[in-house]
A and B are shown apart, each in its own frame.
Chain A
Amino acid sequence: MTRQVEAHHYCGHQNEEMRQCLIYDSPEANARLIGLEYIVSENLFMTLPDEEKRLWHSHEYEVKSGLLVMPGIPGPIERQDLELVCKSYGKVYHFWQVDKGDSLPLGLPQLMMAFTRDGQVNNELVQGCGKRLGVDYEKERKNREYMRGPEHGIHPLANGGGKGLKTVLREVDLPNDQPPPSATRVFV
């Protein structure tokens, strides 16, 4: 939880209940593509196998706390969309650990989680962002008080089921029916 990043999502809809997003580290032209997110409605989330549910996180706190904003969109319209996001679940992988100072996308994909309650987020991070984007988080929190999270409550398996999750690399033997590379050659 000590490692937190500001993330700029650029999203498109597959349909009303599913979105796919590219995640950048800034909203500028030279922004680095650091990861991606898939967002599904509560209905779709419930169809996922239990094992899969753990890889997804809830959005209720992020939205209601004001942390999640849609820069440049007037409040009333923003809130129309956020009402839906509030009930949704997301799955995020980051490939480039820019907070570590990596100048290249090294290592393994990282499964990311979202904030789920007060006290988790690094205040410096938030203040910096608020200043740059001109966001008054306290005001946003009040405006969004009326919003409701998932109809069935946040699923207990979501958000890692409350545990941390990490990615580990494993070498696998290539299946036997594939001849070893030296067996056949093709000349281009």
Chain B
Amino acid sequence: MASTDKSPGPTPAKGNEPPPGKPMSMGQHMIDKGAMMLQSLKPVKQFSQHLCSFAIYSHDMSRQIETHHYCTRLNQDFLQCAVYDSDDSNARLLGVEYIISDRIFEDLPDEEKKLWHSHAYEVKSGLLISPRVPEMVAMPELENLAKSYGKFWCTWQADRGDRLPLGAPALMMSPQAVSPGLARPDLVHHRDAKYHVDSDSYKTSRLEIPEPEMISPFADYWKQHAKGFAIDIVDTDMKLTAPFP
């Protein structure tokens, strides 16, 4: 049926333009403004960081994307992030990434570890930045992140030209020091130009950041196994308590 690595069937919703649909009506704007005033939007007000980096599709590592993570820290060992394709108000919600400390990661079963990726390289190579935050201010969080692992499901493959979120979710991996995990220079330059930074220069300031003593062979699964992951959505019997639909 639907699969991460299968191109969706023909649809007019293809291309690089924003999603199809009429522009927002005045009525809808007013409802939204009203809601923003009346509702306590507590969970989404907890975003405390914006991180910009790159991610790679685990089933096709030639495809890389620039990512914008908006993160909430639930506790010392856990971050939950909404991931977008830009920092604009019209950014597409591409997916969700969870970030955990190495301490928590070590206790996961091996089968689960396979779905996670390490962050040490991404941080120390300067690929991951905290836009507009001075390095010194960002440093404590970068030190946390360098020792962490992430699990990132992408549910909107916009880079493939999907103007709407089609198909099955994709498991994403992080850039690493070896091919095919090396970040594409053109993507990095484009990002660097936008934020007036030079990722390369961060390598020096981040040299001393500690990494996990040993990165589990199950994380960054492709490195040791040359395999990626795809999700298939298949028919199953639904356990029913009433007729469906």
Interface residues of chain A, those whose CB is within 8 Å of chain B, are: 1-2, 8, 10, 13-18, 20, 22, 24, 26-33, 35-36, 38, 40-41, 43-44, 47-52, 54-55, 58, 70-74, 77, 80-81, 84, 91, 93, 95-96, 104-109, 111, 113, 116-120, 122, 154, 158-160, 162-175, 177-188
**Given A49-B11, A72-B38, A109-B153, 16 extra CB contacts under 8 A:** A10-B44, A16-B25, A16-B28, A17-B21, A30-B74, A33-B96, A35-B96, A38-B93, A47-B12, A116-B245, A119-B242, A165-B235, A170-B229, A174-B60, A174-B228, A181-B222
Contacts A22-B43, A167-B231, A171-B227; is A162 near B18 (CB within 8 Å)?
no
Q: Which residues from chain A contact B43 at a C-beta distance below 8 Å?
A: 8, 10, 22, 24, 26-29, 31, 33
Q: Which residues from chain A contact B18 at a C-beta distance below 8 Å?
A: 14-15
Q: How far is the CA of A159 from the CA of B112 in the complex (A)?
A: 29
Q: Which residues from chain B contact A109 at a C-beta distance below 8 Å?
A: 153, 155, 169, 231
Q: How far is the CA of A171 from the CA of B242 in the complex (A)?
A: 35
B147 contacts chain A at the CB level, 8 A cutoff: no
User: In the complex the two chains form, is A159's CB within 8 Å of B19's CB?
Assistant: no
Cross-interface CB contact of B40 among A1, A16, A27, cutoff 8 Å: A27
**Chain B interface residue count, Cβ-Cβ cutoff 8 angstroms:** 97
Nearest residue (CB) in A for B41 is A10
Q: How far is the CA of A101 from the CA of B238 in the complex (A)?
A: 21
Shortest CB–CB separation between residue B124 and chain A, in angstroms? 6
Majority SS of interface residues in chain A? loop
User: In the complex the two chains form, is B92's CB within 8 Å of A20's CB?
Assistant: yes
Shortest CB–CB separation between residue A76 and chain B, in angstroms? 11
Contacts A24-B43, A47-B13, A116-B245; is A15 near B8 (CB within 8 Å)?
no
Q: Which residues from chain A contact B93 at a C-beta distance below 8 Å?
A: 20, 22, 36, 38
Shortest CB–CB separation between residue B18 and chain A, in angstroms? 7
Q: Which residues from chain B contact A31 at a C-beta distance below 8 Å?
A: 42-43
Nearest residue (CB) in B for A40 is B164
